[in-house]
Amino acid sequence: MNGDQVNDDRRRDERSAERRVGAMFGVTALAALGLAYIYIEGGQPQLEGLLLAVVLGALGTGFVLWGKLLLPHDEITEDRPPLASDEAAQQGVSRALDRAEDLLPRRSFLTRMLAAAAGALGLAALFPIRSLGPSPGRVLFRTAWAPGKRLVQEDGTPVRVTDLAVNGFITVFPEGFTERDKADSQTILIHEPPERLQLSDGQGRADWAPEGHVAYSKVCTHAGCPVGLYQTQTGHLLCPCHQSTFDALNGAKPIFGPATRKLPQLPIYVDEQGFLVAQSDFTEAVGPAFWERP
């Protein structure tokens, strides 16, 4: 092989590489025009994404090929000098600090006052954070339920004791509830044959579940999700978030999953017109536990 031929080969390779890179940039230009056309014609998400991917991908491929085929690949070695500064710089810093120490001799009174000033300023600056929210107070121990409030469905219809078939369940809210009340007052009402319910647990709950109607807070005591799944055969209430399972037939005791507390039970009765009514609010805080709860 002679030198001319080597040079010819190299030129040919270079021209072919140039054509490939150029083709990539050409694809970019065409796809970009296509993208603009699709947009003008009203847009189409799949085509937009596809064309944008082609635009960017071809451009990127062009650059990578350019680097791979048309640039030399020599390994370059660069020195890595130590990061730490030399002796002169170290001493310079020491001297500057010494000089400052002479100018600012230890004044312990001033230092103490400055610390007090900075501390007070920092404390005062924290106060506006308090405006971000109200004090928790007792609000977590209350819901919108109150004595005499009827149980209503999401659309506001009051629930009669005859509405719910045996083994049926619905979500109920206190009469006159607002959108905001739904978060802590949502309650699940279950109708089971009275003999299936084990309610005489010595806590005076015998009259909380008239004619087999038992009402539990729907807010999971673990992390607050709605306990939305009721398995009729087993009488289990299941929270779909973390699979806490409660035995609805036995005071909604937790029987599986991370929940540690029962779902609070809402005491209810049937009024003269046959509507289900709350005897009172829940007798304990609903939802997940917190520090102030026993």
Partner 1 sequence: MIRRATRWADERLGTQSFLRKSLNKVFPDHWSFMIGEIALYSFVVLLLTGVYLTFFFTPDTTIVVYDGSYEQLRGVEMTAAFKSTLDVSFDVRAGLVMRQMHHWAALLFVASTTAHMLRIFFTGAFRKPREINWVIGLLLMLMAIGNGFTGYSLPDDLLSGTGLRIAYSVAQSIPIAGNWVAFLVFGGEYPGNVIPRLYVIHILIIPAAILGLLSAHLAIIWRQKHTQFAGKGRTETNVVGSRLYPNFAMKSLGLFLMTAAVLAGLGGLVQINPIWLYGPYDPAAVTAGSQPDWYIGWLEGALRLMPPWEIRAFGRTIPNPFFPGVLLPGVLFTLLFAWPWLEAWASKDQAAHHILDRPRDRPKRSAFGVGASVFYLVIFLAGGNDVLAQRFQVSVNAMTKLLQAALFVGPVVAYFVTYLVCRELRDAGVPITHPSVETGILVRTPDGGYVEVERDPAEVEDEATPTSGASL
Nearer to partner 1, 122 or 128 (CB): 128
Shortest gap between Cβ of 22 and partner 1 (angstroms)? 15
Nearer to partner 1, 17 or 47 (CB): 47
Closest CA to 256 of 273, 274, 271, 238: 238
Measured distance CA(33)–CA(108) in Å, rounded: 73
Nearer to partner 1, 25 or 269 (CB): 25
Measured distance CA(133)–CA(110) in Å, rounded: 38
Measured distance CA(182)–CA(154) in Å, rounded: 9
Shortest gap between Cβ of 245 and partner 1 (angstroms)? 8
Nearer to partner 1, 76 or 124 (CB): 76
Three-point CA angle 142, 144, 150, nearest 5°: 135
Measured distance CA(52)–CA(60) in Å, rounded: 12
Structure tokens at 92: 């310079």
User: Beta strands 268-270 and 229-231: pairing type?
Assistant: unpaired
Nearer to partner 1, 26 or 193 (CB): 26
Shortest gap between Cβ of 205 and partner 1 (angstroms)? 22
Shortest gap between Cβ of 144 and partner 1 (angstroms)? 11
Shortest gap between Cβ of 153 and partner 1 (angstroms)? 11
